[in-house]
Amino acid sequence: FAAARLLTTGAPDPAFDGDGKATVDVGGNDQAAAVAVRPDGRVVLGGTATVAAGPRGVAVQLTAAGAAD
C-alpha cells in the first residue's frame, strides 16, 4: 500500500515519512482501494492482498507522520 501527503503548493510534505510518501508491504499482491483521514491525522488505507490462500481484505493505519501504526 502507498500513501502520499502534499503541501498546499503541491510539493511532497517532508514531514510525512521524510519524503511525503509512505509504503507498507502487506504481503502477496496487494492493492489499496480506499483511504480515509481520521480527525487526529492518522491515515487508514483499505484494500486487498492476494496470497496463496486467495484474496484477503486488509486495512493499514499510518500515523500522521506516515509511520505504520
Whole-number Å distance between alpha carbons of 14 and 62: 15
For 15-22, the CB contacts below 8 A with 24+ separation are 15/65, 16/65, 16/66, 17/65, 17/66, 17/67, 18/66, 21/66, 22/62, 22/66, 22/67, 22/68
User: Looking at residues 63-67, what average pLDDT do you find?
Assistant: 96
Return the pLDDT at 27.
83
Nearest to 19 by CA among 7, 27, 30: 7
Q: What is the pLDDT of residues 2-61, one digit of tens each?
A: 999 999 999 999 999 999 999 999 888 999 999 999 999 999 999 999 988 889 999 999
pTM: 0.85
